[in-house]
Structure formats: structure tokens, C-alpha cells
Amino acid sequence: MEIIDISLPLSEETPTYKGRKEKKPRLERIRTLSQGANETRLTLETHTGTHVDAPLHMLSPANSIDQLPLSSFLGPALVVEIRGVEAIAAEHLSPFQQFLSPQQFLILKTDNSFSDLSRENFVYLTVSGASYLAQQGAKGVGIDSLGIERDQPGHPTHRLLLEKGILIFEGLYLREVEPGFYYFLSFPLKIKEGDGSPTRAVLFRM
């Protein structure tokens, strides 16, 4: 069994959504070995780096990250590669219709995997694409950008997916991942009343 790490490393150099500096992780060494042990203070937003959006991120009332069962964060997954497209719509997803299932994650590998993740014009999922997935069903959707949409007014893509219980995983590192079927696992931190959480996302090739 092959384990593929699809998480971004966390450091003060971690790319952020549209390059926003206020979202940068901060690491501060607060103790050293001369004081008994190395210890670091990490200051991190819940939506920086590889992370998952809880329904509470965009909906109210809604489940926070700690209220979701652990079974929400693992299961079979299909990685699809959609290149040369800036906005993923229903027409780009329909060729995979026979493989979509409410019990399976859909992971989108796009041109983002080969570009600067901090850029503003990243590849995103449109409202029509989100509507299509909401109709067809998916356990969750992952993408190789730090946001699944570009600050569209009202965040309709987020809302359409989360209202249907489709979790959103952002910031996946997919450059070396081949399209195909995998087992996906991306556990969050148990943050009380959290609207999302950093995760360590992996794929298993069975």
C-alpha cells in the first residue's frame, strides 16, 4: 500500500489565499534545549494551508468541526485532472458522472498544482459546478487551491456544497498525484466551535 502525502508544509513561507499576509502562519520559539526542551508557539488561522471547511464556515446554525463524526473525513476518492480551464463548471464534471457518489470524495487536480498558490486568478469551482455536485452527490470535494471560489458575493459555491453536507477540502498538494481511485483521509483538529481546521491530508493507493 502506497501512502501519498497531499498536505502543504506549514511554515512562515506557506502560501496563503490570494497572498494575504495576515493569513501567514507565525512560529515563535518560546523555549530552547538550554531551558529544558524545544517548544514553539504556532499562530495559525483555521483556513490557512491544507484545511477543511466545516458547515459553520458559511452557514448558521450549522455544525462546527468538532461536531462532525470522524467518518466524515475518510473514504474512497476519485482524483480527476481538469487542465486548461480557469473556472470549473458542470460541463467539466459531467464526463465523470458515472463515478460520482454520495459515499465518495471528488478531488480536483487543476492548473493550480503547477502555479503559484498565492495568485489571485486561481482555478476555482463555479456555481454551476457546485450545483452539479450537489445534485449528483459527493461525500466531499477537494481542490488544489487555497479557496474553492474567488470571493464571489455570498459565497454560493461554499453554501451550495455545505448545505448538502459536502465538506470542502482546500490547499491539497496534487502535483505528483495521478488521476484515479484512492482512499482519502484528512482528519481535522478537534477545535471546539471551529469553523474549519488544518488537516494532514493523505491518499492511499490500494
pLDDT band at 1 (very low <50, low <70, confident <90, very high): confident
Task: Read off the pLDDT of residues 104-151 as tens digits, 9 standing for 90 and up.
Answer: 999 999 999 999 999 999 999 999 999 999 999 999 999 999 999 998
Residue 33 lies in a domain: no
Residue 36 lies in a domain: no
Residue 29 lies in a domain: no
Residue 15 lies in a domain: no
- Residue 73: what are its φ and ψ, rounded to 5°? -110, 15
DSSP string, 127-139: HHHHHHHHHH--S
pLDDT at 151: 81
Residue 182 lies in a domain: yes
Distance CA 99, CA 110 (A): 18
Task: Count structural domains, the chain.
Answer: 1
pTM: 0.97
The DSSP element (H or E) to which 107 belongs, if any, is strand 105-109
β-pairing, 124-125 vs 140-143, is unpaired
- Whole-Å CA distances, 161 to 5, 28, 131, 152, 165: 25, 36, 8, 14, 7
Instruction: Return the CATH number at 159.
Output: 3.50.30.50
Catalytic residues: 57
Task: Read off the pLDDT of residues 61-106 as tens digits, 9 standing for 90 and up.
Answer: 999 999 999 999 999 999 999 999 999 999 999 999 999 999 999 9
Residue 17 lies in a domain: no
The mean pLDDT of 152-176, rounded to a whole number, is 98
pLDDT at 183: 98
Residue 39 lies in a domain: no
Residue 40 lies in a domain: no
Residue-number span of the structural domain to which 138 is assigned? 2-9+45-205
pLDDT band at 156 (very low <50, low <70, confident <90, very high): very high
pLDDT at 103: 97
The residue whose grid cell reads 477540502 is 169
